[in-house]
Amino acid sequence: MIKNTKQNYLNHPRGIMSWLLTVDHKRIGLMYLVSGILFFFMGGLLALVMRFELAAPGNDIISNEIYNNAYTLHGAIMIFLFIIPAIPGALGNILLPLMVGAKDVAFPRLNLASFYIYSFGALFALYTIVNGGVDTGWTFYTPYSTQSSSNVVPMTLGIFIIGFSSILTGLNFIATVHKMRIPGLTWYKLPLFVWALYGTSLVQITATPVLAITMVLLMLERFLGIGIFDPALGGDPVLYQHFFWFYSHPAVYIMILPAFGIISEIIPVHSRKKIWGYKFIAYSTLSIAFIGFLVWGHHMFTSGQSVFSQIVFSFITYFVGIPTGVKIFSWILTMYKGQVSFTPPMLYALAFLFLFTIGGLTGIFLGAVALDIHLHDTYFVVAHFHYVMQGGTIVAFLGGLHHWWPKSFGVMYNQTIANIAALGVFIGFNGTFFPQFLLGLRGMPRRYATYDEQFVELHSYSTFWSGILGISIFIAVMNLFWSFMKKNKVDPGSNPWGGMTLEWTHTSSPPHPHNFEEEPVLQHGPYDYDKVIVQKTYKK
Amino acid sequence: MAHHNPDAPSHLKHYFHDVNQQYETSKFAMWAFILTEVLTFAGLFVAYIVYRSWYPDMFVDAHKLLDVNKGLMNTIVLITSSLTMALAIWAIQKNNKKLSVFMLLATFIFALVFLGIKFLEYSHKFEVGQLPGEFYSYMGPDAVHLNNPHIFFSIYFIMTGLHGLHVAIGMGLIAWLVYSTQKGNLTSEYYTPMEMIGIFWHLVDLIWIYLFPLFYLIG
């Protein structure tokens, strides 16, 4: 079925211009991947600088002002330059058309435009860094953000521009899922990663415009003093928070839904078992996307809200737990009595299950008004957020990279090193962030460059393990790129994990420039391990 | 890459099966884009609602500073342009290139008239200082008692400004349509771009239909 062809999207056509002007979704995905990883390292270094500053109380390494810049840039880079654009942009771009059997996304040129809009927006963010940073926190709360003399405008302009990229990618993916599927590939036969990207894209096209307009209003507030967010001019700073979180809460689901999709692919393949509760997982994706729009007020329990709205937002927040729980249990039941193999992708998926569950459950703590008023703006929030975003999204992203690496690039990494790195990520992550729950419970506020003596032990512990975490991630990523540089090739027809989706069964590794030699004909569902035997094939 | 099927029309991109799939995809994406546009303006409508409920009397009094006649004229102009846009599509469906180009040109001119009237309105407001935020300086007898009138003008300028930007972008797109229709690139066989830009143009019209009463006809 898969022809042994020498021609693939990486080597055909050749030349730098064939990359810069490519409309091939796989090449665009690779460009997103490279830029995403660069920003990931940049944001990660900032995190380590902060952690080492916090190893002991007092200003040991950096000043308060630089610390303020560090956490703002860490947040803004990780969220707006890495997680939101790069995960759907990289894995989504490479895989979505392959998974639906299409030759490309619905609008390939628009796809390239998205990448350049993202790059253009990123330039503003980089300008912010070289021009002295920005110190408002990634949330740009008014009134401080309208008064701060740091680079609020370049940063928010960058985010505004990147928003367009996000919207256009979302539009493209939605149209692709609706209209580009091969005949016979009905909605319920789609891989769950496609459902996840679909849910993500829906949120991208509906929430991002509100962020765009909020950023415009913030910039106008600075330029013209329009008064909308400024109490001195008759406006309301809390309205800014409503606008911001109306986007940024759904944006949390832009960040986590693709991760859910990755886990839904890794677990059945590496357990060689049909996914449990396909429709539950598919619909829980859509319900999370929907409920996500109704809970933004839970970020604002201490911002001056009526008790009635607090209760309503708190109540709806709990509802997010239902579809999320449905997913977790479905994944666990998928593994039950399966042939679980401890490959690097599976290790990341297992790590995800532990870490994301802790992140999700502590989210319920924070959704409870009374508890949130105690925990608001403490390290408890920091820990919760990182358990979801890093323990959830980034761990899943690393798992997805390891899962699809041989498919996307036709090379295999050293699996032993990958396993050790995955273990290091898991231990280092818990060591870094679990103490932060305790710090938060004891009242350590977030966004401070120094702290009281009583917190020394937990802070130094967190710093020590953050080093292990950083080194582990570095090793994991280098191990991947090393295999690429060393050209540690796999056979183009290989299917090392025994995947059943179209990208494994119907195209070579790396895929053909036009994805498939001929249009694939669907022979089985994405997880029919109970009906069809797919051999694991892996030849050098 | 050339299409496998030698009979495929030139406008059919190789990654689509057939003309119908390509058309349906464009139309679907266009409606999704319209949803995005609606949400962009929705944020501003929320700001409008919040401040109108905070300052109901100021909104009613400040709206009297706007020129209802110019606003009404613009409403008529824009609705007519929506009609000519629809007629341009109808004409190209009938393969009447000449009529289609004429209707597109009419749409373009109506859009220009709209922006011209808007320019007159704006320049008057600039002269008397009815401006957003800190730049508001109007102290006329009909405004001295107003509580934070600059907020009304902030919202007025941002919403009508963003709408005006859409009109200007629409004009660029319509100009391109005139060119491609005249060149014969768009025919009754393939007129997807015209239909898509038509949808966009109707949205621009529709947003104005909300803006007009909310700013010019309150109280």
- Rounded Cα–Cα distance for residues B35 and B41 (Å): 10
Q: Which residues pair with A12 in a beta bridge?
A: none
Cα A153 to chain centroid, rounded: 25
Taking CA atoms, A175 is separated from A207, A520, B32, B157, B177, in Å, by 18, 20, 9, 34, 24
- Rounded Cα–Cα distance for residues A322 and A506 (Å): 36
The reply to whether residue A228 touches residue B35, judged by beta carbons under 8 angstroms, is: no
Phi/psi-derived region of residue A15, left when phi > 0, alpha when psi is between -120 and 50, beta in every other case: left
What tokens were used for B153? 């003008």
The reply to whether residue B36 touches residue A209, judged by beta carbons under 8 angstroms, is: yes
What tokens were used for B147? 């509580």
Cα A206 to chain centroid, rounded: 18
Give the residue from B20, B33, B39 with the most A CB atoms within 10 Å of its CB, the best one to mutate. B39
Q: Which 8-state DSSP code applies to residue A300?
A: -
Which run of H or of E encompasses A45? helix A25-53
Which pLDDT score, from 0 to 100, does residue A278 have?
Answer: 97
Which pLDDT score, from 0 to 100, does residue B2 have?
Answer: 42
Which pLDDT score, from 0 to 100, does residue B144 have?
Answer: 84
Is B85 among the domain residues?
A: yes
Q: Are A506 and A516 in contact (CB under 8 A)?
A: yes
Give chain B's count of helices (H) and strands (E): 6, 0
Cα A395 to chain centroid, rounded: 9
Amino acid sitting at position A315: F
Which pLDDT score, from 0 to 100, does residue B102 have?
Answer: 98
Is B3 among the domain residues?
A: no
- Rounded Cα–Cα distance for residues B167 and A464 (Å): 57
Least Cα separation, residue A38 to chain B (angstroms): 30
Q: What are phi and psi of A103, to 5 degrees?
A: -80, -25
User: Residues B88-100, buried b or exposed e (16+ Cβ, 10 A)?
Assistant: bbebbeeeebeeb
Least Cα separation, residue B98 to chain A (angstroms): 31
Amino acid sitting at position A515: N
ipTM of the complex as predicted: 0.94
What tokens were used for A260? 């859910």
The reply to whether residue B35 touches residue A208, judged by beta carbons under 8 angstroms, is: no
Least Cα separation, residue B47 to chain A (angstroms): 8
Q: Which 8-state DSSP code applies to residue A133?
A: -
The reply to whether residue A210 touches residue B24, judged by beta carbons under 8 angstroms, is: no
- Rounded Cα–Cα distance for residues A378 and A55 (Å): 17
Selection from A520, A402, A408, A404 nearest residue A10 by Cα? A408
Which pLDDT score, from 0 to 100, does residue A4 have?
Answer: 59
Q: Are A387 and A449 in contact (CB under 8 A)?
A: no
For helices A344-367 and A379-388, angle between their N-to-C axes, nearest 10 degrees: 140
Q: Are A331 and A353 in contact (CB under 8 A)?
A: yes
Q: What are phi and psi of A459, to 5 degrees?
A: -65, -45
Which pLDDT score, from 0 to 100, does residue B1 have?
Answer: 41
Residue from the list B24, B36, B158 with its beta carbon closest to the beta carbon of A220? B158
Q: Are A354 and A322 in contact (CB under 8 A)?
A: no
Q: Are A165 and A114 in contact (CB under 8 A)?
A: yes
Amino acid sitting at position A513: P
- Rounded Cα–Cα distance for residues A250 and A138 (Å): 16
Residue from the list A167, A227, A246 with its beta carbon closest to the beta carbon of B148? A227
Given CA atoms B33, B37, B42, B47 in this order, what sign does their dihedral have?
Answer: positive
- Structural domains in chain B (count): 1
B window 37-96, beta carbon within 8 A of A = 37, 39-40, 42-44, 46-47, 50-51, 54-55
Place of tokens 């022809």: A3
* CATH H-level, domain A26-505: superfamily: Cytochrome c oxidase-like, subunit I domain (1.20.210.10)
Residue from the list A104, A210, A233 with its beta carbon closest to the beta carbon of B43? A210
Residue from the list A108, A212, A227 with its beta carbon closest to the beta carbon of B150? A227
Range of the domain at B124: 21-216
Which pLDDT score, from 0 to 100, does residue B10 have?
Answer: 85
- With beta carbons under 8 A apart, name residues in chain B contacting A227: 132-134, 148, 150-151, 154
Is B6 among the domain residues?
A: no
Tally of CB atoms within 10 A around A535: 7
Q: Which residues pair with A489 in a beta bridge?
A: A411
- Rounded Cα–Cα distance for residues A469 and A456 (Å): 20
Give the residue from A179, A247, A293, A514 with the most B CB atoms within 10 Å of its CB, the best one to mutate. A179
Q: Are A465 and A431 in contact (CB under 8 A)?
A: yes
Is B2 among the domain residues?
A: no
Q: Are A422 and A393 in contact (CB under 8 A)?
A: no
Q: Are A317 and A238 in contact (CB under 8 A)?
A: no
The reply to whether residue B40 touches residue A210, judged by beta carbons under 8 angstroms, is: yes
Amino acid sitting at position A125: A
In sequence order, which residues have a C-beta less than 8 Å from that of residue A342 and are 6 or more positions away? Answer: A419
For the segment A443-454, what is each residue's pLDDT rounded down to a tens digit?
Answer: 999 999 999 999
Is B9 among the domain residues?
A: no
The reply to whether residue A209 touches residue B39, judged by beta carbons under 8 angstroms, is: yes
- Rounded Cα–Cα distance for residues A440 and A303 (Å): 19
For the segment B125-137, what is each residue's pLDDT rounded down to a tens digit?
Answer: 999 999 999 999 9
Burial class (CB in 10 A: 0-12, 13-18, 19+), A232: exposed
In sequence order, which residues have a C-beta less than 8 Å from that of residue B152 and are 6 or more positions away? Answer: B51, B55, B58, B59, B62, B63
Chain A residues contacting B via beta carbons under 8 Å:
102-104, 106-108, 167, 171-172, 174-175, 178-180, 205-210, 212-214, 216-217, 220-221, 224-228, 233-236, 239, 243, 246, 514
What tokens were used for B56? 């109901």
Q: Running along chain A, 540 residues long, what does each successive block of 10 average in pLDDT?
A: 74 90 96 97 97 92 94 96 94 97 96 97 95 94 93 96 97 97 96 98 97 96 94 93 96 96 98 96 97 96 93 96 97 96 97 97 95 96 97 98 96 97 98 98 95 96 97 97 90 92 94 92 94 83
The reply to whether residue B15 touches residue A103, judged by beta carbons under 8 angstroms, is: yes
**In chain B, whose CA is at the least distance from the CA of A108?**
B15
Residue from the list B28, B37, B155 with its beta carbon closest to the beta carbon of A178? B28
- Rounded Cα–Cα distance for residues A149 and A146 (Å): 9
Give the residue from A160, A169, A213 with the most B CB atoms within 10 Å of its CB, the best one to mutate. A213
Q: Are A365 and A315 in contact (CB under 8 A)?
A: no
Q: Are A508 and A493 in contact (CB under 8 A)?
A: yes
Given CA atoms A433, A439, A441, A447 in this order, what sign does their dihedral have?
Answer: negative
Amino acid sitting at position A30: L
The reply to whether residue B50 touches residue A236, judged by beta carbons under 8 angstroms, is: yes
Q: Are A412 and A538 in contact (CB under 8 A)?
A: yes
Tally of CB atoms within 10 A around A272: 19
What tokens were used for B186? 């768009």
What tokens were used for A251? 């944006």
Q: Give SS3 for A495.
A: strand
Which run of H or of E encompasses A408? helix A395-409
- With beta carbons under 8 A apart, name residues in chain A contacting B44: 213
Pairs of residues, one from chain A and one from chain B, whose beta carbons lie less than 8 Å apart: 110
The reply to whether residue A103 touches residue B151, judged by beta carbons under 8 angstroms, is: no
Q: Are A272 and A338 in contact (CB under 8 A)?
A: yes
Per-residue pLDDT of chain B (219 residues; tens, 9 = 90+): 445 566 788 889 988 989 999 999 999 999 999 999 999 999 999 999 999 999 999 999 999 999 999 999 999 999 999 999 999 999 999 999 999 999 999 999 999 999 999 999 999 999 999 999 999 999 888 888 888 999 999 999 999 999 999 999 999 999 999 999 999 999 999 999 999 999 999 999 999 999 999 999 997
Residue from the list A180, A206, A239 with its beta carbon closest to the beta carbon of B35? A206
Which run of H or of E encompasses B156? helix B149-183
- Rounded Cα–Cα distance for residues A442 and A435 (Å): 11
- With beta carbons under 8 A apart, name residues in chain B contacting A108: 15
The reply to whether residue A175 touches residue B39, judged by beta carbons under 8 angstroms, is: no
Which pLDDT score, from 0 to 100, does residue B26 have?
Answer: 96
The CATH number for B154's domain is 1.20.120.80
The reply to whether residue A180 touches residue B25, judged by beta carbons under 8 angstroms, is: yes
- With beta carbons under 8 A apart, name residues in chain A contacting B25: 106, 175, 178-180
Residue from the list A179, A212, A220 with its beta carbon closest to the beta carbon of B40? A212
Q: Are A194 and A286 in contact (CB under 8 A)?
A: no
Residue from the list A167, A212, A224 with its beta carbon closest to the beta carbon of B133? A224
DSSP for B18-70? Answer: SHHHHHHHHHHHHHHHHHHHHHHHHHHHHHHHHHHHHSHHHHHHHHTTS-HHH
Structural domain spans, chain A: 26-505
Which pLDDT score, from 0 to 100, does residue A119 have?
Answer: 97
Least Cα separation, residue A174 to chain B (angstroms): 8
Burial class (CB in 10 A: 0-12, 13-18, 19+), A493: middle
Selection from B151, B159, B123, B119 nearest residue B135 by Cα? B151
